[in-house]
Amino acid sequence: MVTILLILAIGLVVGGVGAMMGIGGGILLIPILTAFLGVPIKTAIGTSIVCVIATSCAAGAVYVGRGMTHNRLAMILEVATTAGALAGGVTAVLISPRLLALLFACILIYVAFIMHRLPKEERPPVRTGALDTSYIDPRTGGRVTYGIRRLGMGMGASFLAGNVSGLLGIGGGIIKVPIMNLMMGVPLRAAIATSNFMIGITAATSGIIYYMSGFVSPKLAIPTALGVLAGAQIGTRVGGRIRSQRLRQIFQLLLLAFATMMLVQAWMK
Amino acid sequence: MNEEKNPGIPAIPEEDLPDSIHIRDFPAELATAGIEPEEEPEILARRDLNQVIHSMLTVGLVTTTVVLLLGFALSIIYRQPLAEKASGFSEILPGLRRGDPESFLDLGLLLLIATPILRVIGSLIEFISKRNWRYTYITSLVLLVLALSMMLGKG
């Protein structure tokens, strides 16, 4: 019972942070489960997949309701990401996971650095004529209209991100948000909402595979899912009230934290 | 569609854009408030898509949560600890008839896992009904790659 409550609480926190930042939280959950609760890695990944899906659905219901998710962009990028993840299985033979984790950590640090160098206020989003969309900013109540830039480059980067996430067994939200925000000109809030949608689709595919292989343990997955479902509701609401600038700072911290985890992982392997 | 525009240029009137951009295929999502009249048909299409996805997610979430909580409550009533391993597809239906808490929990997990895929299928149906063939194609491609990776993952 104590363990169940503990896992429920962990799910609450991971779901909250994940929903707020557009990431699945697998990279938070997997180390906690394996290191502190002694869960085998495959079962930990199975649990984390359920966590990612729960975050995506619960946060998605709020973000889609607010009109903040760019459904069409998500679908286009999802083609590249899933194809990348599929190709990841082929590339896995060629690159050592250790080198990959190292490279990935460098990319994350680089992205954090770029975000740090950006001007304090987000550049006002503009229409570009490609995939123009708009949403109501929950904090200011104003309408934000924006279009997509560099779609081709974004798709290329999404392919690589899918590739890396397929190889390292992570959802990849941490890399999807910067691609959309920094490369494609999507405002941070919309990038978070859209990333939230995409990670759910990718995770659902592996979710079914893991379920059929018996790596989804109800003992762990049920409390996590219930915690996440509640946590994500809180996360989306808190995230809506935070200023974009502060949101960006939190994201930078997450990037650095993940980079450190990746480096530790590369070191230990 | 991946044309890069000078970010300094503000809103470009739609009629000034070259035909190759297919603005009609790229309507944006919109919330309910503040609709500009000249954009109305596209906005309605976007709102429809949003509503379809929103209702699918809500139905999926509510069903999942109810089934999970029911299973959770049953397992507390029967003093049955949560299982280490989920049962196979074939064991769920008979288990539900017996009122086995484990089967309710497994069903809840499966419903949760299926929700994002239902969301994609829902968008596909919506794109087909709006005769938006470009996105029908893109969405089918996503489903195809998902099916492919599921098959590869099984083997």
The 10s digit of each residue's pLDDT in B68-111 is: 999 888 888 888 777 777 777 778 888 888 888 888 899 999 99
Contact A222 B109 (CB under 8 A): yes
Contact B9 A126 (CB under 8 A): yes
DSSP string, A113-177: HHHHHS-SSPPPP---SSS-EEEE-TTT--EEEE----HHHHHHHHHHHHHHHHHHT---HHHHH
Residue B48 pLDDT exceeds 90? no
Q: What's residue A40's pLDDT?
A: 82
Q: d(Cα B27, Cα A241) in Å, to the nearest integer?
A: 27
Report the percentage of chain B scoring pLDDT > 70.
Answer: 70
Q: What's residue B112's pLDDT?
A: 92
| Residue ranges in chain A whose pLDDT is less than 50 | none
Q: What's residue B34's pLDDT?
A: 46
Residue B9 pLDDT exceeds 70? no
Q: Residue range B36-48: average pLDDT?
A: 62
DSSP 8-state symbol, B14: G
The domain limits of chain A are 2-268
B11 HSE (CA, 13 A, CB side): 6
State whether residue A131 sits within 8 Å of chain B by CB: yes
Contact B57 A50 (CB under 8 A): no
Q: What's residue A121's pLDDT?
A: 61
What is residue A25's three-state secondary structure? coil
Residue B27 pLDDT exceeds 60? no
| Unique residue bearing structure tokens 């759910």 | A200
Out of B17, B108, B142, the one facing A75 most closely (by C-beta) is B142
Which residues, at least 6 apart from A33, have a Cβ–Cβ distance to it below 8 Å? A39, A43, A44, A47, A48, A220
Q: What's residue A120's pLDDT?
A: 62
Between positions 50 and 109 of A, the ones with CB within 8 A of B are 50, 53-54, 56-58, 60-61, 64-72, 75-76, 78-79, 82-83, 85-86, 89
A248 HSE (CA, 13 A, CB side): 20
ipTM of the complex: 0.83
The whole-angstrom distance between B129's CA and the closest CA on chain A is 16
Q: What's residue B63's pLDDT?
A: 92
Tokens of A33: 């489960």
